[in-house]
Amino acid sequence: MKIAFDCQGGDHAPQAIVEGALKAKEALGIEPIFFGDAARLKAMEGVDETHIVHCASAITQEDSPALAIRKKKNSAIVMGLGALKEGKVDGMISAGSTGALLAGGMFIVKRKEGVERAALPVYLEISGQKKLILDVGANMDASPEMLLSFAEMGQSYLRDVEGVDAPTVALLNVGTEEGKGNQQVKAAYELMADGIEHFTGNIEARDVLFNNVNVIVTDGFAGNILLKTIEGTVGYIQHGVASAAKGSEKAGELKMLAKSILGDLDYSRYGGVPLLGLEKPVFKAHGASNAEAVLSATEALVRMVRGDEYREGAGQ
Amino acid sequence: MKIAFDCQGGDHAPQAIVEGALKAKEALGIEPIFFGDAARLKAMEGVDETHIVHCASAITQEDSPALAIRKKKNSAIVMGLGALKEGKVDGMISAGSTGALLAGGMFIVKRKEGVERAALPVYLEISGQKKLILDVGANMDASPEMLLSFAEMGQSYLRDVEGVDAPTVALLNVGTEEGKGNQQVKAAYELMADGIEHFTGNIEARDVLFNNVNVIVTDGFAGNILLKTIEGTVGYIQHGVASAAKGSEKAGELKMLAKSILGDLDYSRYGGVPLLGLEKPVFKAHGASNAEAVLSATEALVRMVRGDEYREGAGQ
């Protein structure tokens, strides 16, 4: 299995990307293809020269995503996604600009048939239960039909990639009763009640961490509010614990306890998130990824590639 | 100052409401008017018979709000709001159906001039800093113009009622840069940048508990997601602390610590929330209010009445 690594994107590129790719080669038996500055990559230990694809320009966080995809044809994101489209690699990982990766995914790799827009989920395991919340940032204005398709993408990912049997789906809303919410979610509820197997109805934000539903569907605006509110509340509490621990004899003990309670909510430990709805597997690693995180991301990507192969083998 | 108390609404009505009203009479010098079942109220200690207004029907949580306002003309909510409209009382408190109180506020008390829709805020003090987030549930689909008017209502409340000098305002969004978000918030940003003094721009959900902005503007859908995600995350952590404390010698110590860290996030301690945008002061006490909570709610309502008097006296 050949995997394209964007060696230009991320806070610790190219070192962390290359080290992670080499760890993945060792641990998972994949063949890494390094997209980036050839001179720099050649100088790095363990990099096979024949597996380098030179990229003369680089997309940065400051670039406008759609424009960057059109203008920077020889960047790692554009060239890596191009190689994926042409079947020269089986999957692509980038810790670079999420917007550019999404735009490139849509324009170069293309969407799966019937999918209007790609989505960005967040993956969590809470008390061992696998959860996917989507969209959390790719689609600010989502039609009810798009929400329906997010439900389908989420189920398919959890089933084919994470091995969840019959994943349940709920719609993020302000109350659990049918008829709650704004125009968008009311219409989406109707579509999902008709079209989604294992649809359990609405879910309130306060139940997201407790309820045992697998896929939580929302648009990118509300999903982002949900996710960042969890992050902000956890941050607030960590800050409180740090203050309480200051000068206390039990500082270490307190921090350990906080870590054990808050651990499941730290979604950065899953390495990143898949881009859902594309023809081929693309994985967004966290910008701050170190080599270990790149390895985690590669593990998830390998499961995505295998999930696709399985589906194709089954004639779906 | 005469205050109408809905003695029909809330989990502990009429006892907690009446006890709270009597505490407020003692502590604040207000004159409570009791709206409810006369026979039952007469039998209660400390209730002045001449201050009872008999209500033959009652609005419940199961009633459709708009329908209940039209059909249950002799309920405490409808009669109390009617007395407020006519100037027989100076303010109204209810721990009953939020929807019915809002609908009644709009239909009976009416909105302030220039206000399209009333809003439901949540009030918090974090590290001593006063914050109002609105709307958190009254308006699911809010136009950019409505968001602008929420900003104005929020500023006016914090300034006139809570004594905040020059309250700052931010717009809840998925990023801090201008141009972020969905169509609704992009348009609202433009309006607020032009029309709101002390507008500080967008605020991300993760910064709501840290940032020192006073008024956070959002529609009722996203506001509800924000609020209930804080609640859910706090609940998740309390559950974790309770598990860690189980059988531990330090159980009491741990719970005290959690309480001290989480205390500021418990918005139930403020007694309830004002309905903003109405011609006259209406306060929604929490459904679970005990007598102490009713007293807190009355304190806030008295500040609202005085704020209005002050504005009118100043010729505004």
Q: Which residues contact B70 (CB under 8 A, 6 or more apart)?
A: none
Contact flag A225-B226 (C-beta cutoff 8 Å)? yes
Q: Which of A228, A249, A268 is the last residue of a domain?
A: A268
**Bridge partners for A273 per DSSP:** A284
B219 interaction partners in chain A (CB closer than 8 Å): 182
Q: Which residues contact A217 (CB under 8 A, 6 or more apart)?
A: A134, A147, A150, A151, A154, A169, A170, A171, A172, A188, A192
Does the CB of A42 have a partner CB in chain B at under 8 Å? no
Residue A252 resides in a domain: yes
Cβ proximity of B132 and B122 under 8 Å: yes
Does the CB of B222 have a partner CB in chain A at under 8 Å? yes
Best residue of B122, B206, B209, B213 to probe chain A, by most A CBs closer than 10 Å? B206
**CA–CA separation, B204 vs A138, rounded Å?**
16
What is the SS3 assignment for B55? coil
Residue A273 resides in a domain: no
Is pLDDT at B316 greater than 50 in this prediction? no
- Residue numbers of the domain that contains B27: 1-110+278-316
Q: What is the pLDDT along chain A (316 residues), one digit of tens a residue?
A: 999 999 999 999 999 999 999 999 999 999 999 999 999 999 999 999 999 999 999 999 889 999 999 999 999 999 999 999 999 999 999 999 999 999 999 999 999 998 989 999 999 998 889 999 999 989 999 999 999 999 999 999 999 999 999 999 999 999 998 989 999 999 999 999 999 999 999 999 999 998 889 999 999 999 999 999 999 999 999 888 888 888 788 788 888 888 888 888 887 778 889 999 999 999 999 998 999 999 999 999 999 999 877 666 654 4
Does the CB of A127 have a partner CB in chain B at under 8 Å? no
Determine the pLDDT at residue A262. Answer: 85
Contact flag B233-A228 (C-beta cutoff 8 Å)? no
Determine the pLDDT at residue A303. Answer: 93
Residue A228 resides in a domain: yes
Number of domains in chain A: 2
**CA–CA separation, A19 vs A290, rounded Å?**
9
Determine the pLDDT at residue A93. Answer: 98
Determine the pLDDT at residue B277. Answer: 95
Question: Average pLDDT for residues B145-157, to the nearest whole number?
Answer: 96
**CA–CA separation, B233 vs A8, rounded Å?**
36
Q: Characterize the bridge pairing of strands A31-36 and A2-6.
A: parallel
Residue type, B42: K
What is the SS3 assignment for B2? strand
- Examine the domain organization and report whether B144 and B236 are in the same domain: yes
- Examine the domain organization and report whether A36 and A138 are in the same domain: no
Q: Which two tokens stand for residue A131?
A: 């959860």
Contact flag A207-B232 (C-beta cutoff 8 Å)? yes
Does the CB of B235 have a partner CB in chain A at under 8 Å? yes
Question: Average pLDDT for residues B295-305, to the nearest whole number?
Answer: 94
- Examine the domain organization and report whether A234 and A308 are in the same domain: no
Contact flag A174-B225 (C-beta cutoff 8 Å)? yes
- Examine the domain organization and report whether A247 and A283 are in the same domain: no
**Bridge partners for B278 per DSSP:** B111
A217 interaction partners in chain B (CB closer than 8 Å): none
Determine the pLDDT at residue B65. Answer: 92
Q: Which of residues 128-187 of A touch B (CB under 8 A)?
A: 137, 140-141, 172, 174, 181-183, 185
Ramachandran bin of B6, using left for φ above 0, alpha for ψ from -120 to 50, beta for the remaining angles? beta
In terms of pLDDT, which residue wins out, A214 or B249? A214
pLDDT band of residue B314 (cuts 50, 70, 90) is: low
Q: Which of A229, A249, A268 is the last residue of a domain?
A: A268
- Examine the domain organization and report whether B142 and B184 are in the same domain: yes
DSSP strands (E only) in chain B = 2-6, 31-36, 52-54, 91-94, 121-126, 129-134, 169-173, 199-204, 215-217, 272-274, 282-285
- Examine the domain organization and report whether A135 and A197 are in the same domain: yes
Is pLDDT at B310 greater than 70 in this prediction? no
Is pLDDT at B196 greater than 90 in this prediction? yes
Residue B273 resides in a domain: no
- Examine the domain organization and report whether B9 and B151 are in the same domain: no
Helix runs in B98-250, H state only: 98-104, 144-160, 183-195, 220-245
Is pLDDT at B269 greater than 80 in this prediction? no
Q: Which two tokens stand for residue B299?
A: 């304190």
Q: How confident is the prediction for chain B on average, in pLDDT?
A: 93
- Examine the domain organization and report whether B55 and B122 are in the same domain: no
Determine the pLDDT at residue B38. Answer: 97
User: CB atoms < 10 A from the CB of A168, how many?
Assistant: 18
Cβ proximity of A181 and A201 under 8 Å: no
**Bridge partners for A125 per DSSP:** A130
Does the CB of B256 have a partner CB in chain A at under 8 Å? no
Residues in chain B: 316
Q: Counting beta carbons within 10 angstroms of the beta carbon of residue B66, is it exposed (0 to 12), middle (13 to 18) or buried (19 or more)?
A: middle
What is the SS3 assignment for B119? strand
Does the CB of B66 have a partner CB in chain A at under 8 Å? no
Cβ proximity of A257 and A67 under 8 Å: no
Determine the pLDDT at residue A144. Answer: 97
**Bridge partners for A3 per DSSP:** A32, A91
Q: How far is CA A20 from CA A216, A282, A303, B41, in A?
A: 31, 16, 17, 73
**CA–CA separation, A279 vs B197, rounded Å?**
48
Output the domain CATH number for residue A307: 3.40.718.10
**CA–CA separation, A104 vs A101, rounded Å?**
5
- Examine the domain organization and report whether A180 and A217 are in the same domain: yes
Cβ proximity of B205 and A225 under 8 Å: yes
Determine the pLDDT at residue A38. Answer: 97
Residue A20 resides in a domain: yes
- Examine the domain organization and report whether B47 and B93 are in the same domain: yes
Residue B198 resides in a domain: yes
- Examine the domain organization and report whether B95 and B122 are in the same domain: no
How far is the alpha carbon of A240 from chain B, nearest alpha carbon, in Å?
A: 5
A221 closest CB neighbour out of B222, B230, B240: B222
Residue A128 resides in a domain: yes
Q: Which helix (H) or strand (E) holds A238?
A: helix A220-245
Does the CB of B27 have a partner CB in chain A at under 8 Å? no
Best residue of B135, B174, B243 to probe chain A, by most A CBs closer than 10 Å? B174
Could you read off the pLDDT of B46-62 as tens digits, one per residue?
999 999 999 999 999 88
- Examine the domain organization and report whether B142 and B34 are in the same domain: no
Contact flag A224-B205 (C-beta cutoff 8 Å)? yes
pLDDT band of residue B114 (cuts 50, 70, 90) is: confident
